[in-house]
Amino acid sequence: MNFTNNSNQLRELIRVLERKLGILEDNGFSCCSISISQCHALVEIGRAKSISLNKLAEVLNLENSTMSRTVNNLVSNELAKRDIDPQDRRYLTISLTDKGQKLYEEIEEDMNLYFKKIYDNLPEGKKDQVLESIEMLLIAIDKSECCE
């Protein structure tokens, strides 16, 4: 690779990283019979236990309409359910069904194992540096978001 500046190098390295992590999607590594967007939603719902559609869309950085279609698919596949808030009947929350909870736990277990292998292959003296660098990269991305 021939780079003219560091920002081009960053771009190319992130593209390669995306492709390598995308292999998980292409092989259905942990999400079985659901799409990667459904997988991300399922994991966030599982971690939150119960979450509103608006909050879920915010967490995943998606439009509400896109998030609604994704959740509809999870509900159709009996992986998630919508519940009416007892205090405010206009407010819906999304939670996992037993089937969804089981899939969530499988995904978490698979991903934890996969990323542990990656982490274990980092050079001993560089592990903390890699984590710190990724955190700094995420902060820089948040600061440079153009359309918010």
pLDDT tens-digit series, residues 4-57:
688 888 889 888 888 887 765 555 555 667 888 899 999 999 999 999 999 999
What H or E segment, with its residue span, contains residue 109?
helix 98-120
Structural domain harbouring 132? 7-144
Asked if the structure places residue 1 within a domain, the reply is: no
Question: Which pLDDT score, from 0 to 100, does residue 27 have?
Answer: 52
Asked if the structure places residue 45 within a domain, the reply is: yes
**Is the pLDDT assigned to residue 3 strictly greater than 60?**
no
Q: What percent of the chain has pLDDT over 70?
A: 88
Asked if the structure places residue 123 within a domain, the reply is: yes
Asked if the structure places residue 25 within a domain, the reply is: yes
Question: Which pLDDT score, from 0 to 100, does residue 142 have?
Answer: 86
Asked if the structure places residue 96 within a domain, the reply is: yes
Q: Number of structural domains, the chain?
A: 1
Residue 15 sits in a domain of what CATH number? Answer: 1.10.10.10
With 0-12 / 13-18 / 19 or more C-beta atoms within 10 angstroms meaning exposed / middle / buried, residue 109 is: exposed
Question: The whole model's pTM is what?
Answer: 0.80
Asked if the structure places residue 51 within a domain, the reply is: yes
Residue 28 Ramachandran class (φ > 0 left, ψ -120 to 50 alpha, else beta): left
Task: Give the chain's end-to-end CA distance (angstroms, integer).
Answer: 33
Residue 51: DSSP 8-state: B
Q: Any bridge partners for residue 82, and if so which?
A: 94
Asked if the structure places residue 2 within a domain, the reply is: no
